[in-house]
Structures are given as structure tokens and as C-alpha cells.
Amino acid sequence: MPYPRHLLAPDEEIVVDSHPHWKALVGPVAASLAGIALIALAWWWVASVEYADAVETGIGIVAGVAAAVLIGWLAVAPFIRWSTTHFVITDRRVIFRTGVLTKSGIDIPLARVNTVQFRHGLIDRMFRTGTLIIESASDDPLSFDDIPNVEKVHALLYDEVFETLEGDEDPRPAPA
């Protein structure tokens, strides 16, 4: 889902609009699959032992509820958090929004950006993702993890910052 255009200023253009890289979902999905496998194994073991019908039904209900909670907690919740996290670069600012019930965000005007860095290790390079670090005037550096194509985003952001700073210069020639 793209960043809502009605939240932008008039004539503001989006340069980059992305969610965190999909690799952020690998851990939650693997954990939920492992949890479901453990519940299925326990369910199979319980089914192999003779119990009264009411006990088997109760154990089946408990296992089903546990599976639903595990899927919701380990897979669905991280997916919703991922899909509601936006990293956006416009021609005027950097926007970061995250949250489902409680939303938080930060906007950094491009004119206040001092330094743009990126960092990515071997695994991140294989997935073409990484961490983007933005240092703005009088603020601590902000780190944005799992940015897809971090090197390209770094170059685009630097280009936008450069264009913003060039536009701030006085176009009148200096007196002779």
C-alpha cells in the first residue's frame, strides 16, 4: 500500500516510497511455522493415545486456539506492522511513519540533512537491503533499518539534498 498522497503538501513529489524489506518478515514466518509444527506434533501425539471423547475435544480446542494465537502473534502482527511502516523521500523531506494502533513518525526537511550514510553486511547485500543513517542539524543520527535497495536510496536522497541546497543559494551575482 503506497503512502497516502493526501498527506503530502501541495506540489510535493514522492521520490522514494517503500516499506521495510521483506526479509524483516522471514523470522516471524519461520517462528510461526515452527510453532505450528510443534502444536501439530503435540496434537498428533495426543490423538495417538486413547482418551475420553470430551478430553480429546478439549485438547483439540486448546491446540486450535494455541495455533491461532501463535499465527496471529508471530506472523499476522509483524506483517501488519510491516505493511503500516512507510519510508518516504519527497522533493522536500524524509518521512518515516510506523504503527498500527499507536502511530508515530518523523519528518526531516531536506534542508536540515547534514550527512547521509548507509550500512549493510553480507546478508543485507545479498538481499539488497541495509540501514540508512541520516544526520540532521542539531539532532542525533537517525537509523532506518531494512531499507530496500539502500545504496540507490542513499544516492537518491543525497541528490535531493544537493538539489535542495543548490536552490537555497542566492541566484543574484555578487557585486563586483
Residue 2 has pLDDT above 60, yes or no: yes
**Lowest-confidence region among 7-11, 90-94, 121-125, 144-148:** 7-11
pLDDT of amino acid 168: 63
**Who's near 32: CB < 8 A, 6+ residues apart?**
70, 71, 74, 75
pLDDT of amino acid 144: 94
pLDDT tens digits, one per residue of 5-24: 878 888 999 999 999 999 98
Q: Convert the chain into a string of H (helix), E (strand) and C (coil).
A: CCCCHHHCCCCCCEEEEECCCHHHHHHHHHHHHHHHHHHHHHHHHHHHCCCCHHHHHHHHHHHHHHHHHHHHHHHHHHHHHHHCCEEEEECCEEEEEECCCCCEEEEEEHHHEEEEEEECCHHHHHHCEEEEEEEECCCCCEEEEEEECHHHHHHHHHHHHHHHHHHHCCCCCCCC
Model's pTM, two decimal places?
Answer: 0.77
pLDDT band at 150 (very low <50, low <70, confident <90, very high): very high
pLDDT of amino acid 16: 93
* End-to-end CA, the chain: 55
Residue 104 has pLDDT above 90, yes or no: yes
Residue 97 has pLDDT above 80, yes or no: yes
pLDDT of amino acid 105: 92
The CATH code of domain 11-20+86-168 reads 2.30.29.30
Closest CA to 89 of 138, 129, 148: 148
Higher-confidence position of 104 and 44? 104
Residue 122 has pLDDT above 90, yes or no: yes
Residue 47 has pLDDT above 80, yes or no: no
pLDDT of amino acid 155: 93
pLDDT band at 173 (very low <50, low <70, confident <90, very high): low
Tell me how far apart the alpha carbons of residues 126 and 128 are, in angstroms, rounded to a whole number. Answer: 6
